[in-house]
Structure 1
Amino acid sequence: METYSRPPARTWLVPLAAVALLIVGLWPTLEVLGSRWLILDQSYSHGFLILAASIVLVVRKWLRGPPSIGLFSFWLLPLLLAAVVYLAGAVLLIEALQQLAILPLVVGTLLLVWGWRQTTAFLLPIGLLAFAIPVWDYLSWPLQLITVEVNQFFLSRLDIEFFVEGVVVYFPGVGAFEIAHGCSGLRYLLVGLTLTTLYGELNYKTVRSRCYLIVAGTLLALVANWVRVFVIIYIGYESNMSSPLINQHDYFGWWVFTATLVPLFFIALKLENREVFTGRVQTTFVDDRSQAPGWLSILGVVFLPILL
């Protein structure tokens, strides 16, 4: 029989000690993950910002009502399975398996001492870290191919001689552009997912509004990358590969991405206003938050791409 108690002023000791032990045990993997976040010109340079946002959201949830401590033995099996996955990655020297097991180990530990009902309120703040774990690289190649197809379509509408082989666009007599891993748009996709998920957590109560915003953010992030690549290719062609934009395309890309935040926030505010007017609350989350002011949330998430 599952029982739990709530010692006054000490409800934080058990989960804190459990997470601390996890950090010690997972330190080699966490160290590799942190070094990946420090590479500022790759897709996961936003990792420490996501970690900070996740900690703030967890503390915010905690202050609104600390969960009661108990022993929910049902979740011991999933926790052990996550541990097996992590150990398999360590034995087989597959870092992706180890990194993939980090969040299940953390969530499984909390489920063991809090149970499902109490842990659900913390799933999204902790799950936000999924956008900073380097397992998304498998999307890079499909995104590269989509970017090539979109730009081939745009270029075919112009009076330009070119041909495409794989992910390389050739301009006879001018040069060639390779739509490489960094041009796939994975960086913008992950940041877009982070921003929309964070905004939905701070302002929305319905799952529908959150999903709409995430879909809109995903599409706009992809469009931003397509526009970036097309403009760079076209200006490179017109300038005979001499434009300084070719060497500064990273900075240009973030400006384009920031521009796409304008329609995204209009969509976000429209969804927020619709929730206010309809008053319908359709959520599967344990919701103990009050909505943050819209302007404050906008300012907060706008600073993320600026910092990047």
Structure 2
Amino acid sequence: MLNNHVFRMLLGTFLVWGALFYSSIASTVAIWNRSETFAHCFIILPICLYLIRQKWPLLKSAYIKPNYWLLLPVLGTLIVWTFGHLAGILVLEQLATFVMLPFMIWCVLGNQVARLMAFALAFWMFSVPVGEFLIPHLQELTADITVWSLQLTGIPVYREGLYIAIPGGLFEVAVACSGIRYLIASFTLGTLYAYITYQSKTKRVVFVIFSILLPLLANGIRAYGIVMIAHLSDMKYATGVDHLIYGWLFFGVVIFIMFSVGNIWAEPARVYKAEVTASRELRAPKLSLVTLGSLSLMAMATFSYARVMSDVVSDITYSPGQLVDTSIEVSNESWLPLFQNPSKTFLGRAQNFDVYIAYYDRNVQGQELINAENKLYNFTKWSIVNSHNEANYRVLELTNFAGDSRILAYTFVTEGITSPSSMKVKLYQAVQALFGIPQAGYALIVSREGERDENMTQALNTFFNSDLAQYLEE
């Protein structure tokens, strides 16, 4: 039977963590529920419980001694949580939330229990829904492998951005074809398999690396296979939803191959036996309760501070509409950005550019200037061919399925900083939020049909370096 003190303190710590961070946990579970990419996160907790159950014979005799040095990383994690919560950086808030549980267990139960549960506590971090920032890079990699494979096959191929053209038809490496689901699932399963199958740390590390590289290569081969099936069948097969079905069947084969290869060097499973220890310090459970209570007070103080800072509303008023003539309609609406819940939008023309401005008078969850769901252009109709940075704005060269070209340039403007770097602006707003300074700002996006040339560059410089600068000085 599992030591009652260890079991009770583990359960108590988990319940306290769940109660304290309920809102952050709920937002995380909501992502698991709506995103197939992170549906596997629902089984992380049962897996962690299974891993802990394997160590029960050792945990029976584990010595409970709170480690007060862990109060420092706990405090640091609370600061990160506050930073993420106030800045609206949901992934940072969720990461801090799920990091907090292992730290709390380590702090409350001590080094010996934490060491026995080390892998389970580390594997717990797969619960955090992170990784979608890799999608654009994975799309590029998939397109590279596909084009290279088609060239080896001798099929004429032309690529522009994420569009791949062969004599039989035109293909796009869409988000669903990036392989992000395969990568995250393979990495998660590979890490668990390596821990269960091997005792050698070297073998475990090598297999985890293998579980990352294999789906990257396999997804490129899958995309190439889809194009080949479509080509050889005169575009009758693998051009609709069926190519997704083929993809998942292919992924199942890849996982089978990965486990089959890993099984070649499998090692006998370790058998855990109870260890007999000297007399236990009777005050340890009481000290653990005091420690857990202290952690709860620290967390509640942090939440109170975050609530007060969240109530700060900006009294700064921008009039970015002066930058655009809203009486003139844009020449083409197919590129228009997709921003979530802006306080106000402005759409019109300026300097022969289509202009779109999304203004936010605050920076709260669901109403943020910088958010992963905000899109600078309609990504369902346009694809990036090239991009480059200028002094205070960024230029994107776009193309669509029909082969049309379009230039798009953008920057973000807030009180104190103007930059096309979403990370820089987000961090700046986060620091403002941490000190209770209200935030307001807007995204300024201009676009024009055609390819980048000297005249286009000069017009963009005039707009961003002259017109915008003059407006900001007023």
Q: Please, what TM-score do these two structures have when normalized by structure 2?
A: 0.53
Residues 1:140 and 2:135 are matched in the alignment: yes
Higher strand share: 2
- CA separation of 1:183 and 1:86: change in aligned 2, threshold 3 A: same
Q: Deviations over 1:209-240 (max 9, x none)?
A: 11121122222222221122111122223334
Give the match's secondary structure for 2:165.
Answer: strand
TM-superposed CA distance for 1:288, in Å, is 6.7
- The answer to whether the 8 A contact 2:197-2:263 is kept is no
Distance 2:109 2:142 in 1: 45
Tell me which of 235, 245, 250 is aligned to 1:256. 250
Distance 2:194 2:73 in 1: 28
Asked which structure has the greater RCO (Cα within 8 Å, sep 6+), the reply is 1
Tell me which of 13, 16, 20 is aligned to 1:18. 13
Q: Deviations over 1:37-58 (max 9, x none)?
A: 2235x32121112232122212
Higher helix share: 1
Task: Give the aligned residue type for 1:73.
Answer: Y
TM-superposed CA distance for 1:154, in Å, is 0.6
- The answer to whether the 8 A contact 2:6-2:59 is kept is no
Q: Which residue of 2 aligns with 1:162?
A: 157
- The answer to whether the 8 A contact 2:138-2:180 is kept is yes
Task: Give the aligned residue type for 1:92.
Answer: A
- CA separation of 1:191 and 1:15: change in aligned 2, threshold 3 A: same
Q: Which residue of 1 aligns with 2:73?
A: 78
Q: Which residue of 2 aligns with 1:115?
A: 110
TM-superposed CA distance for 1:261, in Å, is 3.0
Residues 1:33 and 2:5 are matched in the alignment: no
Distance 2:113 2:200 in 1: 19
Q: Deviations over 1:81-131 (max 9, x none)?
A: 111111111111110111111232011101112333431222222322333
Give the match's secondary structure for 1:164.
Answer: strand
Task: Report how many aligned residue pairs link the two structures.
Answer: 271
Give the match's secondary structure for 2:156.
Answer: coil
Give the match's secondary structure for 1:107.
Answer: helix
Give the match's secondary structure for 2:115.
Answer: helix
- The answer to whether the 8 A contact 2:164-2:172 is kept is yes
- CA separation of 1:222 and 1:71: change in aligned 2, threshold 3 A: same
Q: Please, what TM-score do these two structures have when normalized by structure 1?
A: 0.79
Give the match's secondary structure for 2:199.
Answer: coil
Residues 1:55 and 2:66 are matched in the alignment: no
TM-superposed CA distance for 1:75, in Å, is 0.6
Distance 1:182 1:123 in 2: 34
Identity %: 25
TM-superposed CA distance for 1:170, in Å, is 2.5
Q: Which residue of 2 aligns with 1:189?
A: 183
Residue ranges of structure 1 left out of the alignment (5+ in a row): 1-7, 277-286, 291-308
Distance 1:138 1:65 in 2: 39
Q: Which residue of 1 aligns with 2:124?
A: 129
Task: Give the aligned residue type for 2:68.
Answer: S
- CA separation of 1:46 and 1:68: change in aligned 2, threshold 3 A: same
Task: Give the aligned residue type for 1:182.
Answer: A
